[in-house]
Amino acid sequence: MWAYRMAGPGRFERCSVPEPEAPSSGQVVLRTTSGGICGSDLVFFRGATTPEGTLKDSMFGEPGFPLHEITGEVVASAHPAHQVGDQVVGWATRSDGVVEYLTTNGEEVAAYRPELKPEIAVALQPLACVLYAVEQLGDVRGQDVVVLGLGPIGLLFSHVLRSRGAGRIIGVDRVNRTRIGARFGVDEVVWASTDRWARDVVLEPQIVIECIGHQAGTLNDAIRVAAFNGQVYQFGIVDEAAQTVNLRQVQRKNLVLRSGVTLQRRRMLAEADTYLAEHPELETGYVTDVLHAVEIEAAYRLALNPTPEQGKVVVRMPWDLGT
């Protein structure tokens, strides 16, 4: 079967690999139909590594890596909730989604509405992550929010927080996201780096979402601007296991610092499907670029260098790539 793998920083190569064996208990085998590019994938495309001993540290050069947001058709199942022929969305457990067939945990995928095209349905995975994170924040009604980073995740945070009744929402990004930000519920878009903005800001938001990641600096900017008794949510997979965080400010401002991974994944994917049905504007406005699997390098470069109106970049994975 066909697959793509990282052949070096910024470069994929086509390869042929054996088809998966029969799934073990709780697993499913999928024929992939689409994949969404996440910021945590892009660090590997640039050539970064992860802390020694983690799964992804050992995956560089493996077929299918790095891509974990996937849709697919179930072709074999050892999980009671999934039957052959089901169309599902969720996580590729080993982040090996750039491949014709893959094996993943059945608890990390869920069926989606049949009227959704796979390249739209794949957005349910990041939406599920955002819904879970916002759930951890509790009642956000009337609370002012700052979202650091208005990429695909920041846009979803803005949309969900707006739907949950948040007060004023300000988004900060180094790309001018003014028009697309407004469509996702952002009241004010700041075109600047977070450190430059944080030095002069007057607003003290009750909630700060840091969804840029990959360095401690932006998290410390979030801590700097948060209001007394506020919450800071660090979203995303950190690149380094240990980072320097301004705990003195966290303590003196009595902040709650939150982070974590998405749990109860099948439940959250179902909630994401419901949310998308209630907000059909996301079906047409979130995924802005769909490329073919043979254009995988171009898709990653596009995601790495976003334009002002760019949302989610998705790769379509059809059957006809051969072996």
Q: Mean pLDDT throughout 34-39?
A: 96
Q: In the prediction, which pLDDT does 320 show?
A: 60
Of 3.90.180.10, 3.40.50.1100, 3.40.50.300, 3.40.50.1360, which CATH number belongs to 2-123+286-316?
3.90.180.10
Q: In the prediction, which pLDDT does 323 show?
A: 44
Mean pLDDT of the chain: 93
Q: Mean pLDDT throughout 46-60?
A: 64
Of 3.40.50.720, 3.60.21.10, 2.120.10.70, 3.30.590.10, which CATH number belongs to 129-258?
3.40.50.720
* pLDDT tens per residue, range 129-177: 999 999 999 999 999 999 999 999 999 999 999 999 999 999 999 999 9
Cis bond leading into 318, ω under 30°?
A: no
- For the ranges 103-117, 135-149, 236-250, which has the lowest average pLDDT? 236-250
The whole-model pTM stands at 0.95
Q: Decide: helix, strand or coil at residue 127.
A: helix
Decide if pLDDT at 313 tops 90.
yes
Domain boundaries, the chain: 2-123+286-316, 129-258
Decide if pLDDT at 221 tops 90.
yes
Decide if pLDDT at 200 tops 90.
no
As a whole number of angstroms, the distance between CA 296 and CA 291 comes to 7
DSSP string computed for 42-73: HHHHTT----TTSTGGGTTTSTT-SB-EEEEE
Q: Mean pLDDT throughout 57-64?
A: 80
Q: Mean pLDDT throughout 92-110?
A: 97
Give the containing element (helix H, strand E) for 222: helix 216-225
Q: Mean pLDDT throughout 193-210?
A: 91
Report the percent of the chain where pLDDT is more than 90.
85
Dihedral angle of Cα 232, 235, 240, 246, to the nearest 10 degrees: -10
